[in-house]
Structure 1
Amino acid sequence: MLHRCLVANAAIEVCLASLATALMRALVLVGMAVHVLAPQAAFAQADNGALNVGVYVSAPFVEQGEDGSYSGMAIELWETVAQRLGRDYRYVRYSSFHDLVRATRDGEIDAAVTNLTITRDRAEVVSFTQPWYDAGLRIMVPDRGGRGGFWGVIDGLRDAGHLRAYAWLLFVIVLATIGFTIFDRKFDPAFPKRWREGVAESFYNVMSIATSGKTSRKNLFGWIGRIWQALWLLIGVGVIAYITSSVTSIMTTISLTQGITSLADLPGKTVAVFEGSVSEDYISELGIATRSYPGIDEAVEAMRAGRVDAIVGDAPVLEHYAHSYPGREVAVVGSIFHPDKYGFAFPLESELRRPVTLHILDLVEDGTLAEIRMRYFGVEDL
């Protein structure tokens, strides 16, 4: 009897041990499932709200129409990915790359969409997707359409605003000619009586003062007349100095800009770059003088006005601008340097980065990304 009880107790202990083991295994499996599915659950929960997508206008990757809508290669790629994800979104515009990266880092936006270069410094504060575009930097310089010599100088004087000053000088010369003619007809008995001869004589005297600082006019008023003649001589010297300096500066600028064909020609020049861009950091590291501008329109205006000698920026952006605005008389020169890659950015630890990256890879493999690129650049190579 005692033996049977001991056997029964042992059986009960074995059953309890087996049950405990089974419960432990079940708990472990539940914990693993929670660990694996938690990110997916969080991502699914986030799907309920629209994403705030930061953009920086940089054609042809991001462009804004008059109605406020956005287009461009980066926009089309993002919208294709968002459609596959089944996500809603709203765009938020930023004025520079720096502001866009800062907003992404601080969590103001859920994603950054533009031609954003992947760098180590940026990757420390934001999370990037798989690269979807290979690019690099190039140089933009003024282009006179091949015109040099006289017409090149005229174009340079016009762009720098000197032609307007010359027009005022011509107006003063005409006024002085008329004034001298009326004055000499009244006070100089030997002055030609015929108007055309008198105007020609006065015009000769005015141009003599303006171009050589000399005058052959008679002194009709003694020492007072000499003082007036001295003042006119000073005016003439000033006019000559201004014309000489303006023409010389324009010719020097033309010589310098026509001599820029590669990165090696930039030392000693002043270069326009875009605020918060890779070109800003790279050119500054080389010790080349830079001026930062929020966008390409402002940089081109500065170059046309002579405040900078060239622009360094992303090759596809500069090439697209030169092709789209031939009337701005700019040209992109030299080969690509400092190659880089573009990607979309998200806050660190964002649950969006991985699914977006996977869809970008899908678009690469099925040829959709190549088709999108071909619509904007006319080439299929990635």
Structure 2
Amino acid sequence: MVSSPSSPDSTKPKVEKSSRSGEEARVRDEMMKWNFPMITLLCAILAMASGSVSAQAQNETTPLQPLAVGVHVSPPFVVKDGARYSGMAIELWEATARPLGLAYSYREYPTFEALIAATERGEVAAAVSNLTITRDRVERITFSQPWYDAGLRIMIADDQGSGFWQVLGGLEKAGHLRAMAWLVFLIFVATIVLAAFYRRFDKSFPRSWHEGLAEGFYEVMSVATSGRVTRANALGWIGRISGGVWMVCGVAVIAYVTSSVTSVMTALTLTHQINSLADLPGRSVGVLGGSVAENYSNELRLSTTPYDDIGGAVQGLTSGQTEAIVGDAPVLEHYAHSNPTPPVSVVGPIFHPDKYGFGFRHGDALSHSITLQILALQEAGELEALRRKFFGNER
């Protein structure tokens, strides 16, 4: 049997099928060529998103490190009771930090300067105290919105100018002390002369010299202090006349001593009393170290003695180391009101007015957040309520 040759139509489907297979392979290759970078990019994005979610989850589970907040004890703004701090500045800080969800711990510093330096170094995130805003400090740290208007005043001891040594010094300067020394010498001589006189003419007078001198001294001092003569009748009419002369002398001595001491004490009161800033030149002034009061007093060329706290400054004042204290008005006023002993007074008007604020390191965004909270408290009236809590209605 002879096979007939294939017709052209019998091979055509095979050729078309082979052509379609090649085209599909080419398209698949093109798709793979373009999809590979896209797939790689998508994988990278998914990996980054997964890492971000993981980091966020880790941050949510890991507690943040508490902020270190520096404080300087200065009642009534910062008061320390054991390990606990309170006061107006502390309560205000806590009221501003609470809405921000801040975690913090307090770190105490001995002076304002130490607190500012720690803030400048970044050792603490915030400085909380009655920190006065000044140009020099603004160059070192950033301040929040001011939250208290203050200024400087003067504290003195209530017994200024009337101490024993001050009166004695005044008597010496006036020349009265030398005159009184001569009176003491005359009393000594009069005692000997009177004792010898009575031993000679008064038979009832003690015979022994020590008793006679004691009796004579008593007689002289009786005349000098009270003008009375104890033995006027011992010598008859002569004794009466001599007794009258002694009484006149005694009255003169009493008048002189009384008038000289009174005049000196009056002069001391007028010349030593401190009522204003104009009375401070030439006097020793106590200040808190690193405070605005110290800087301002040094600018005025006053003789200053720095102290670490208000208690030490008051002790220096009452012991005579200083004659006055220059410090923040609310701090001095609070101390004088809360401590009746030793007796001190705050005198004169407020000078060098200033404002208090919280301190932060330059560039720290926390200062802006705290400022917004202070403004919110001020607008709500809570800042004024806090001020009245510690200072009443007095401004």
When normalised by structure 2's length, the TM-score is: 0.60
Q: 2:362 aligns with which of 334, 338, 348?
A: 348
- 1:45 and 1:87 map into 2 onto residues whose CA distance is 16
- 1:87 and 1:257 map into 2 onto residues whose CA distance is 52
- 1:159 and 1:71 map into 2 onto residues whose CA distance is 41
Counting only pairs closer than 5 Å after superposition, residues 80-99 of structure 1 correspond to structure 2 as 80-99=95-114
Give the partner amino acid of 1:59: P
1:268 lines up with 2:282 in the alignment: yes
Partner SS state of residue 293, structure 2: helix
Which has the larger Rg?
Answer: 2
Query: How far 1:250 sits from its partner (Å)?
Result: 8.4
Query: How far 1:251 sits from its partner (Å)?
Result: 7.8
Aligned 8 A contact 1:137 1:315 in 2: yes
- 1:362 and 1:300 map into 2 onto residues whose CA distance is 38
Give the partner amino acid of 2:379: E
User: What is the aligned partner in structure 2 of residue 13 from structure 1?
Assistant: none
After superposition, what is the alpha-carbon deviation per residue over 1:274-298, rounded to whole angstroms, capped at 9, x for unaligned? 1001111111111221111111111
Q: Identify which range, 323-332 or 312-321, moves more after superposition.
A: 323-332
User: What is the aligned partner in structure 2 of residue 157 from structure 1?
Assistant: 164
After superposition, what is the alpha-carbon deviation per residue over 1:188-247, rounded to whole angstroms, capped at 9, x for unaligned? xx99468976755577899xxxxxxxxxxxxxxxxxxxxxxxxxxxxxxxxxxxxxxxx9
> How much identity, in percent, do the aligned residues show?
49
Q: How many residues are paired up?
A: 276
Partner SS state of residue 78, structure 1: helix
Aligned-residue RMSD, C-alpha: 4.1
Partner SS state of residue 84, structure 1: coil
- 1:298 and 1:367 map into 2 onto residues whose CA distance is 36
Query: How far 1:97 sits from its partner (Å)?
Result: 0.6
In the superposition, relative to structure 1, how do residues 253 and 273 fare at CA in structure 2: closer, same or farther (>3 Å)?
A: farther
Aligned 8 A contact 1:257 1:310 in 2: no
Q: 2:68 aligns with which of 47, 52, 56?
A: 52
After superposition, what is the alpha-carbon deviation per residue over 1:4-48, rounded to whole angstroms, capped at 9, x for unaligned? xxxxxxxxxxxxxxxxxxxxxxxxxxxxxxxxxxxxxxxx99981
Give the partner amino acid of 1:350: D
Counting only pairs closer than 5 Å after superposition, residues 32-47 of structure 1 correspond to structure 2 as none
User: What is the aligned partner in structure 2 of residue 133 from structure 1?
Assistant: 148
- 2:305 and 2:96 map into 1 onto residues whose CA distance is 36
Partner SS state of residue 122, structure 2: coil
Give the partner amino acid of 1:275: G
Aligned 8 A contact 1:103 1:109 in 2: yes
- 1:300 and 1:200 map into 2 onto residues whose CA distance is 49
Partner SS state of residue 312, structure 1: strand
After superposition, what is the alpha-carbon deviation per residue over 1:301-320, rounded to whole angstroms, capped at 9, x for unaligned? 11112221111111111111
- 2:104 and 2:130 map into 1 onto residues whose CA distance is 19
Give the partner amino acid of 1:310: A
1:78 lines up with 2:85 in the alignment: no
Partner SS state of residue 388, structure 2: helix
Counting only pairs closer than 5 Å after superposition, residues 117-196 of structure 1 correspond to structure 2 as 117-144=132-159, 153=162, 156-157=163-164, 192=206
User: What is the aligned partner in structure 2 of residue 170 from structure 1?
Assistant: none
Q: 1:372 aligns with which of 375, 386, 389?
A: 386
- 2:153 and 2:63 map into 1 onto residues whose CA distance is 40
Partner SS state of residue 91, structure 2: helix
In the superposition, relative to structure 1, how do residues 281 and 196 fare at CA in structure 2: closer, same or farther (>3 Å)?
A: same
Partner SS state of residue 98, structure 1: helix
1:110 lines up with 2:130 in the alignment: no
Give the partner amino acid of 2:68: N
- 1:126 and 1:347 map into 2 onto residues whose CA distance is 5
In the superposition, relative to structure 1, how do residues 80 and 292 fare at CA in structure 2: closer, same or farther (>3 Å)?
A: same
Query: How far 1:93 sits from its partner (Å)?
Result: 1.0
Q: Which runs of 5+ in 1 are unaligned?
A: 1-43, 163-189, 207-246
In the superposition, relative to structure 1, how do residues 309 and 103 fare at CA in structure 2: closer, same or farther (>3 Å)?
A: same
In the superposition, relative to structure 1, how do residues 70 and 374 fare at CA in structure 2: closer, same or farther (>3 Å)?
A: same
Counting only pairs closer than 5 Å after superposition, residues 8-23 of structure 1 correspond to structure 2 as none
Counting only pairs closer than 5 Å after superposition, residues 221-236 of structure 1 correspond to structure 2 as none
Q: 1:317 aligns with which of 306, 315, 331?
A: 331
